[in-house]
């Protein structure tokens, strides 16, 4: 027994330090609560200061667009994800919930009490997100252009509500959800809702009746006869104790009689007549027959301006706006428009040297010797030198198959010390095989030489694109109207950006602003930003967007839908005039204008 007692005593002594630590308290809940509250505040600031044009991503070095979010790149990225892919602005319930949880932890309150609050807050946020998306869904019949400011979840729910239940059903369901949430949140009994509605309707009717009586009372008085003497009736103070007592009734309204008035109505039928009789007795007889000296009645003043008499005031005619000829203004503007000068383009001081005839003959012999080493007899019949590539036309001997020469492509590149060659087997329209070999020092093709060339200036087409030069050095151009679906692809550094800028510059040197409009979309934000200065001339922009050159994905969706709407309207106009393309449409409009016919609806359309 003694040993057991000692063990018990020892255990008590050991438990004493742990109890003292509990008394001192654990500070971890307070730290967690503080961190949760801070995170909630940061999220709230990021969502509140969300801006649609802010770039998304943490690598923003060299970005020319200034971030407007209060928390910089972090706030722009986090808020964009939360805003666009969840509930929009109602997603603020998340930071509110985090702040509340942090406060509960700091004050050591059980988090289970927040469950009902979280569910109710989420329900209200979801309902509000759907409400924010409903107007646009109703206007577009369930095909909104963007889910702003409702977010993806609220926008999709609004779209399905409108598509499934139509406009009236969607609004009706939103009202029902609002009533249900109000009853659950504020614990309002359902029976009180119709009573409150009936009471509000009754009060509205009472108010309308009172206003109606106040408006109709002046019309009951008899109109004064013309040139009748005005009588000055002194004010008669009449005090009715019963009415003063009735006004203290909380249910008293000026338009409704009180209980005391109803009881005393029969004996007081002649009371107004008695009051008027007393007031008439107080008026002197002299005032009833004589008019005041020096005063004119309103009827006398009105008689002075009888018909036939000349008025003593000036009558000003209505202002008429001067109409201008819109088409004439356009023609005048085109006549004064100055195309950009070619002096703006770069031109090298020294022209690159071409390959000499001796070098070309040497390469031709080397090519024939290389083919002979592999047992292929062929001879070079023609050499076409280009700025970048030289074409060697090779005619094989009789009995030599084309496949034998094609199979030697890599061996020929090794022998000619070229990065790579291309074999055209055979050349269309010729009895020869073409072997293209890159020049060791390729020359640069400058855009100025293309713009000034006779081929580009005299090119017959609508939207001429200067694309460069052929192997033989001839200027090559193409008409965009004959290839409306154009895809430019290539590896990094292959010249895609140079090609796009060359095409745009070609159009600027040939088409005036009235005949051509651009819609520029640049997700990279660096390629097409230099064209923002053309916004008043060549760029077609949307007034609802805050960008000239579109870079944000949501803005790109909106402006592309605007382009689709423009396309559909143009199809309707083409169908109305019975033409198939814009060229025939504009030609027909010019014919109408020459005949003196013009219409506000049908005008010349730019590309």
Element (H, E) at 382: strand 378-385
Predicted local distance difference test score (pLDDT) of residue 607: 92
466 three-class SS: strand
Residue 6 pLDDT > 70: no
Grade residue 593 by pLDDT with cuts at 50, 70 and 90: confident
Q: How far is CA 321 from CA 317, 318, 324, 601, in A?
A: 12, 10, 9, 21
Predicted local distance difference test score (pLDDT) of residue 506: 93
What backbone phi and psi angles, to 5 degrees, belong to 87?
A: -115, 5
The mean per-residue pLDDT over the stretch 369-373 comes to 88
Predicted local distance difference test score (pLDDT) of residue 520: 94
Grade residue 275 by pLDDT with cuts at 50, 70 and 90: very low
Predicted local distance difference test score (pLDDT) of residue 466: 92
Predicted local distance difference test score (pLDDT) of residue 273: 45
The mean per-residue pLDDT over the stretch 283-293 comes to 45
168 three-class SS: helix
Q: Is the dihedral of CA 205, 209, 212, 214 positive or negative?
A: negative
Residue 242 pLDDT > 80: no
135 neighbors 145 (Cβ within 8 angstroms): no
Predicted local distance difference test score (pLDDT) of residue 313: 66
Question: In this predicted model, what pLDDT tens digit does every residue of 483-535 receive, in sequence order?
Answer: 878 899 988 888 889 999 999 999 999 988 888 999 999 998 888 989 998 88
The mean per-residue pLDDT over the stretch 373-394 comes to 87
For residue 533, give every residue at least 6 positions away whose Cβ sits within 8 Å of its Cβ, in sequence order, or none: none
**Exposed/middle/buried for 605, CB within 10 Å: 0-12, 13-18, 19+?**
middle
Q: How far is CA 112 from CA 115, 117, 119, 174, 355, in A?
A: 6, 10, 12, 30, 86
Predicted local distance difference test score (pLDDT) of residue 485: 84
Grade residue 146 by pLDDT with cuts at 50, 70 and 90: confident
Q: What is the secondary structure of 477-499 as a DSSP string?
A: EEEGGG--S------TTSSHHHH
Predicted local distance difference test score (pLDDT) of residue 549: 92
Predicted local distance difference test score (pLDDT) of residue 12: 43
Predicted local distance difference test score (pLDDT) of residue 312: 66
**What is the token pair recorded at 554?**
């949501």
The mean per-residue pLDDT over the stretch 35-60 comes to 82
Predicted local distance difference test score (pLDDT) of residue 464: 93
Q: Is the dihedral of CA 521, 522, 523, 525 positive or negative?
A: negative
Query: What angle separates helix 582-594 from helix 553-577, to the nearest 10 degrees?
Result: 50
For residue 551, give every residue at least 6 positions away whose Cβ sits within 8 Å of its Cβ, in sequence order, or none: 65, 521, 522, 523, 525
Question: In this predicted model, what pLDDT tens digit does every residue of 440-495 receive, in sequence order?
Answer: 777 888 899 899 999 999 998 889 999 988 877 789 999 998 887 889 998 888 88
Predicted local distance difference test score (pLDDT) of residue 310: 56
Residue 554 pLDDT > 70: yes
Predicted local distance difference test score (pLDDT) of residue 209: 83
Predicted local distance difference test score (pLDDT) of residue 206: 84
Query: What percentage of residues in the chain have a pLDDT greater than 90?
Result: 14
Predicted local distance difference test score (pLDDT) of residue 337: 76
The mean per-residue pLDDT over the stretch 529-554 comes to 87
**What is the token pair recorded at 299?**
């009827």
The mean per-residue pLDDT over the stretch 95-118 comes to 87
- What is the spatial distance between Cα 605 and Cα 569, in angstroms, rounded to a whole number? 11
- What is the spatial distance between Cα 383 and Cα 361, in angstroms, rounded to a whole number? 9
**What is the token pair recorded at 181?**
């949430």
| Selected residue with higher pLDDT from 99 and 202 | 99
Query: What percentage of residues in the chain have a pLDDT greater than 70?
Result: 73
Among residues 77, 13, 14, 16, the alpha carbon closest in space to that of 49 is found at 77
420 three-class SS: coil
The mean per-residue pLDDT over the stretch 223-248 comes to 46
- Which residue carries 């730019």 as its tokens? 606
| Selected residue with higher pLDDT from 314 and 240 | 314
Predicted local distance difference test score (pLDDT) of residue 500: 92
- What is the spatial distance between Cα 302 and Cα 323, in angstroms, rounded to a whole number? 42
Predicted local distance difference test score (pLDDT) of residue 351: 65
Grade residue 387 by pLDDT with cuts at 50, 70 and 90: confident
514 neighbors 606 (Cβ within 8 angstroms): yes
For residue 200, give every residue at least 6 positions away whose Cβ sits within 8 Å of its Cβ, in sequence order, or none: none
Length of the chain: 607
**Exposed/middle/buried for 521, CB within 10 Å: 0-12, 13-18, 19+?**
middle
Q: Please provide the average confidence, as pLDDT, over all residues in the chain.
A: 77
Among residues 498, 372, 433, the alpha carbon closest in space to that of 421 is found at 433
- What is the spatial distance between Cα 24 and Cα 108, in angstroms, rounded to a whole number? 15
Predicted local distance difference test score (pLDDT) of residue 288: 44
For residue 492, give every residue at least 6 positions away whose Cβ sits within 8 Å of its Cβ, in sequence order, or none: none
| Selected residue with higher pLDDT from 337 and 381 | 381
Residue 104 pLDDT > 50: yes
Question: In this predicted model, what pLDDT tens digit does every residue of 330-353 receive, in sequence order?
Answer: 666 666 778 888 888 888 776 666
3-class SS string, 70-126 = CCHHHHHHHHHHHHHHHHCHHHHHHHHHHHHHHHHHHCCCCHHHHHHHHHHHHHHHH
- What is the spatial distance between Cα 387 and Cα 449, in angstroms, rounded to a whole number? 13
Question: In this predicted model, what pLDDT tens digit does every residue of 572-588 receive, in sequence order?
Answer: 999 988 898 898 999 88
**What is the token pair recorded at 15?**
């438990």
What backbone phi and psi angles, to 5 degrees, belong to 139?
A: -70, -35
Residue 302 pLDDT > 50: no
Predicted local distance difference test score (pLDDT) of residue 600: 67
Angle at alpha carbon of residue 418, lines to 416 and 421, rounded to 5°: 95
578 neighbors 572 (Cβ within 8 angstroms): no
* 281 DSSP β-pair partners: none
Predicted local distance difference test score (pLDDT) of residue 596: 76
- CB crowding 98-137: b at 16 or more within 10 Å, else e: bbbbbbbbbeeeeeeebeeebeebebbbbbbbbbbbbebb
End-to-end CA distance of the chain: 108
Predicted local distance difference test score (pLDDT) of residue 571: 92
**What is the token pair recorded at 135?**
């107007």
Grade residue 65 by pLDDT with cuts at 50, 70 and 90: low
Grade residue 184 by pLDDT with cuts at 50, 70 and 90: confident
């Amino acid at each position: 027994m003694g040993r057991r007692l000692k063990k018990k005593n020892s255990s008590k002594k050991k438990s004493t330090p742990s109890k003292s630590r509990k008394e001192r308290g654990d500070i971890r809940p307070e730290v967690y609560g503080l961190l949760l509250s801070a995170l909630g505040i940061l999220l709230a600031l990021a969502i509140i200061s969300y801006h649609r044009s802010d770039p998304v991503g943490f690598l923003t070095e060299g970005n020319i667009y200034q971030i407007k979010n209060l928390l910089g790149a972090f706030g722009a990225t986090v808020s964009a994800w939360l805003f666009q892919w969840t509930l929009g602005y109602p997603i603020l319930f998340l930071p509110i919930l985090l702040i509340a949880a942090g406060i509960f932890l700091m004050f050591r309150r059980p988090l289970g009490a927040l469950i009902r609050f979280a569910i109710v807050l989420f329900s209200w946020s979801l309902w509000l997100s759907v409400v924010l998306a409903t107007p646009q869904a109703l206007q577009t019949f369930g095909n909104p252009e963007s889910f702003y400011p409702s977010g993806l979840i609220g926008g999709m729910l609004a779209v399905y509500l409108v598509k499934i239940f139509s406009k009236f059903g969607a609004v009706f369901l939103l009202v029902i959800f609002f009533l249900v949430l109000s009853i659950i949140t504020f614990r309002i009994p359902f029976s009180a809702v119709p009573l409150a509605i009936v009471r509000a309707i009754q009060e509205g009717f009472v108010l309308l009746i009172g206003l109606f009586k106040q408006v109709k009372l002046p019309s009951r008085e008899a109109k004064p006869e013309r040139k009748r003497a005005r009588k000055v009736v002194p004010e008669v103070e009449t005090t009715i104790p019963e009415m003063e007592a009735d006004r203290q009734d909380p249910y008293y309204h000026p338009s409704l009689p009180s209980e005391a008035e109803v009881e005393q109505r029969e004996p007081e039928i002649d009371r107004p007549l008695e009051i008027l009789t007393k007031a008439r007795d107080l008026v002197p007889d002299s005032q009833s027959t004589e008019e005041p000296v020096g005063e004119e009645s309103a009827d006398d003043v009105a008689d002075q301006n009888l018909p036939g008499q000349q008025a003593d005031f000036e009558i000003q005619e209505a202002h008429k706006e001067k109409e201008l000829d819109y088409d004439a203004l356009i023609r005048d503007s085109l006549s004064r428009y100055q195309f950009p000068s070619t002096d703006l383009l770069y031109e090298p001081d020294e022209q690159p040297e071409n390959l000499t005839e001796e070098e070309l003959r040497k390469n031709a012999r080397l090519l024939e010797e290389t083919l002979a080493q592999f047992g292929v007899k062929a001879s070079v019949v023609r050499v076409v030198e280009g700025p970048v590539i030289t074409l060697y036309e090779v005619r094989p001997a009789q009995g030599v198959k084309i496949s034998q020469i094609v199979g030697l492509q890599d061996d020929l590149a090794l022998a000619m010390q070229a990065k790579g060659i291309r074999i055209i087997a055979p050349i269309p329209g010729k009895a020869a095989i073409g072997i293209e070999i890159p020049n060791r020092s390729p020359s640069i093709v400058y855009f100025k030489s293309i713009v000034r060339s006779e081929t580009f200036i005299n090119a017959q087409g609508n939207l001429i694109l200067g694309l460069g030069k052929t192997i033989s050095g001839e200027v090559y151009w193409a008409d965009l109207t004959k290839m409306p679906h154009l895809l430019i692809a290539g590896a990094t550094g292959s010249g895609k950006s140079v090609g796009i800028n060359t095409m745009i510059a070609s159009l600027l040197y040939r088409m005036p602003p009235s005949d051509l409009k651009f819609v520029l979309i640049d997700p990279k934000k660096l390629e097409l930003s230099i064209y923002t200065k053309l916004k008043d001339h060549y760029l077609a922009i949307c007034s609802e967007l805050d960008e000239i050159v579109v870079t944000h994905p949501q803005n790109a969706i909106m402006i592309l839908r605007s382009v689709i709407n423009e396309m559909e309207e143009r199809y309707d106009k083409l169908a109305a005039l019975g033409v198939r393309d814009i060229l025939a449409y504009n030609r027909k409009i010019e014919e109408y204008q020459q005949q003196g016919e013009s219409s506000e609806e049908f005008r010349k359309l730019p590309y």
